[in-house]
Amino acid sequence: MKSIILGIDPGLSFTGYAIIAYDKPKIEPLTLGTLELSKTDKETNEKLTIIYQRIYQFIKEYRVNAFAIESPFYGKNIQIAIKMGRTQGVCMAAAIANQVPIFDYAPRKVKQAVTGKGNASKEMVAGVLQNIFKTPLNDHFLDATDALAVAVCHAYQTTIPIIGKSQSSWKNFIEQNPHKIKKN
């Protein structure tokens, strides 16, 4: 089944977004970018309204059926944590308003899924994504590539087989997942 996944890297000044089409095992980026509100004189509530409206529009326009968002990383500054939480909340509200299921991923999990290293830099994540999709990704859009990583992480999570009766051995796994075998 084809999924249209919206990945979000929330931030009040810079919210990264990426939309991918995922039809196992193919992942195709449809759009990505950054909602940049740092250079505006708008108040916090106005910025949150703009973010909500744009995310809502993306969901409708692309017929998104899965919403993946990066959990905010909480540092020492409580004010930044509050702003991040509010931004995440309005993004999630746009998904809820459209009845789109929400999936939340820790930054470390996203980096691990894409690069194999949970402590990878933003630049490393962008570099790996550039290699995966064979397209240049501008370093100025690291929030957008982070959002793309969130969407890709979600796609990877949906392909993880459930170990149980049908997956009782590596042989069964390989037989049921030939697309996961890398051939040189």
Whether 41 is catalytic? no
Sign of CA dihedral 70, 73, 79, 85: positive
DSSP state, 139?
G
Return all residues near 66 (Cβ < 8 A) that are at least 6 apart.
Answer: 3, 4, 5, 6, 100, 101, 103, 154, 158
Question: Is 114 in a helix, a strand, or coil?
Answer: helix
Q: Which of 23, 46, 143, 146 is catalytic?
A: 143
**Pair type for strands 14-23 and 66-70:** unpaired
* DSSP string across 27-40: EEEEEEEEEE-TT-
Whether 143 is catalytic? yes
Asked if 16 and 145 touch (Cβ cutoff 8 Å), the reply is: yes
Q: Which of 9, 43, 139, 146 is catalytic?
A: 9
Q: Which of 70, 139, 146, 175 is catalytic?
A: 70
Q: Would you name the residues annotated as active-site residues?
A: 9, 70, 143
